[in-house]
Structure 1
Amino acid sequence: MLKPILLTEDNPRDLELTLIALERSQLANEVVIARDGVEALDYLLRREQYADRPEGNPAVMLLDLKLPRVDGLDVLATVRATPELRSIPVVMLTSSREEPDLLRAYSLGVNAYVVKPVEFKDFVGAISDLGVFWAVLNEPPPGSMRLQRARLAPHEPREDA
């Protein structure tokens, strides 16, 4: 079962462009959209409207920096401070080139910081590359797949046991 991609973006234009880019990359992963930091944390922590969502973390979180209610850096800080969420790859996807934002994101443990390209073709290419890398090529931390398989089929022998 493929893990979803959590896309946290409040700008309707950037959201639409990111969804187009992910679709063009032909990833089969479901894309879950959060339009602000609170909604992203609700999804990750399985609360409010997401209280009944299946267990498990997204394959990757694409996180905008400037978000309403709770900004991207505060979301990142919460993710890294929460043991169950700590291993989620987080890619800051932002228009900010400000050095303090970049430094703070890396000090909080972001996996990648990508400035959104202005040109549509470049934007699509960047998002496609990100999606393929984090959802397909990247190896999750040891143990995360074992735990997921054990929850799905605890009575079956595991390949990696």
Structure 2
Amino acid sequence: MSGTYETQLAELGVILPDASTPAANYVPFVQVGNMVHVSGQLPAVEGGFITGKLGADLSTEEGANAARACAISLLAQVKKACGGDLDRLKRVVKLVGFVNSTADFTEQPKVINGASDFMVQALGDAGRHARSAVSAAALPFGVAVEIEGIFEIE
């Protein structure tokens, strides 16, 4: 652990995991110029994924915790894209969050706030971003949330 962002993460009790490898025919991120597009990240925690459907199995708060887990995985991918130096991250540009939810569940923005709030806590103003939060009838492996992101790096 060396940089400013990783120090801020440690103060939040977070040590970034190794970036995961894709489970299908895609790459975890693509860099175009100074922009890094990170593929959708699933809510990985010790012991597996956070699974369930918002509005049936999980509370909004549990969904927000899943979104936070996705945000941690997003930053792990960005760190890898930056050659291990997370301080090359200039800004979170946009997050797109998919929430595995029932047809009548309407708190998708509150769920994805788990990721958005974490980005700002960990990165300060560089963590402020544009965002979409949408419902999905189902997600891979039955996970609660999937989030992809666009990041500006040096």
Query: TM-score scaled by structure 1?
Result: 0.27
Q: Over alpha carbons, which structure has the higher Rg?
A: 1
Give the structure with the higher percent strand: 2
Give the structure with the higher percent helix: 1
Query: TM-score scaled by structure 2?
Result: 0.27
